[in-house]
Amino acid sequence: MPRRPRFCPPGYVQHLIQRGNNRQIFFSSNKDLSAYSNWLWEATEKYELAVHAWVFMTNHVHLLVTPGTEESIALSMQYIGRQYVRYFNRAYRRTGTLFEGRYKSHLVQDAGYVLACQRYIELNPVRAGMVSDPAGYVWSSYRSAAFGRSTKLWKPHSYYLKLGESDRARRKSYRALFRSELGEEVIDDIRHASSKGLILGNERFRKQLKALRNSRDNRRLG
């Protein structure tokens, strides 16, 4: 029986997680990380995908994105998979599966949730004990959001832009968010939503998306 297509409404933020098969490492060097980053950027340009946050760990990747079309995410992840797996297998003289099945994804409400999810993503290396400060980890979006590091991949979300009237003010406000820890309840909510493919948001947002999905399904049946 074919799998039900993912619900990917244009303009709505999603949190994506891609893991190595059996949790195997798929980044062994900075060259690998640079290659993945470049193909991710190419995919965003080809398929209208805005990336608001990311972190590349050794055996998994987190992305916070907004698709421009219903197919933006699927096509982007397929493109990265083809390019990177071919590169990795050739570079390390291996064959077979690299990633753990389909990537995980869940929808994220803008108000009250998107910046929390962005912080969750960028704090991954801290929770893993790799660094004591997110600024100490090169392969995330934190330095772009907090210090203005130039990168063609980063597209700030509208709620990030509301943090201040200038780039300097926004960066200062964003850094201030990290002075307090992300609450355990928030972390649990994000992890639960990502593991089950649930919506991260309030009941009103869930009802809005349910109505949107029903409308889409009815159009397809009609």
69 in any annotated domain: yes
Q: Are 83 and 34 in contact (CB under 8 A)?
A: no
108 in any annotated domain: yes
216 in any annotated domain: no
DSSP structural state of residue 175: H
221 in any annotated domain: no
Mean pLDDT of the chain: 94
33 in any annotated domain: yes
pLDDT tens digits along 139-195: 999 999 999 999 999 999 999 999 999 999 999 999 999 999 999 999 999 999 999
Query: From CA 202, how far away is CA 204, in angstroms rounded?
Result: 6
Which residue range is the domain that position 186 belongs to?
Answer: 14-211
| pLDDT averaged over 10-residue windows placed end to end, the chain, 222 residues | 72 97 94 97 98 97 98 96 95 92 94 96 97 97 97 97 98 97 95 95 95 78 58
Q: Are 68 and 48 in contact (CB under 8 A)?
A: yes
Number of compact structural domains in the chain: 1
47 in any annotated domain: yes
6 in any annotated domain: no
DSSP structural state of residue 71: T
Which of 217, 200, 220 is closest to 12 using CA atoms? 200
Residue 198, CA distances (Å) to 37, 64, 78, 140, 192 in order: 27, 15, 22, 24, 8
Task: Give the pair of three-digit tokens for residue 200.
Answer: 């991260």
- Amino acid identity of residue 16, one-letter, is L
222 in any annotated domain: no
What is the structure's pLDDT at 2? 46
Give the CATH number for residue 97.
3.30.70.1290
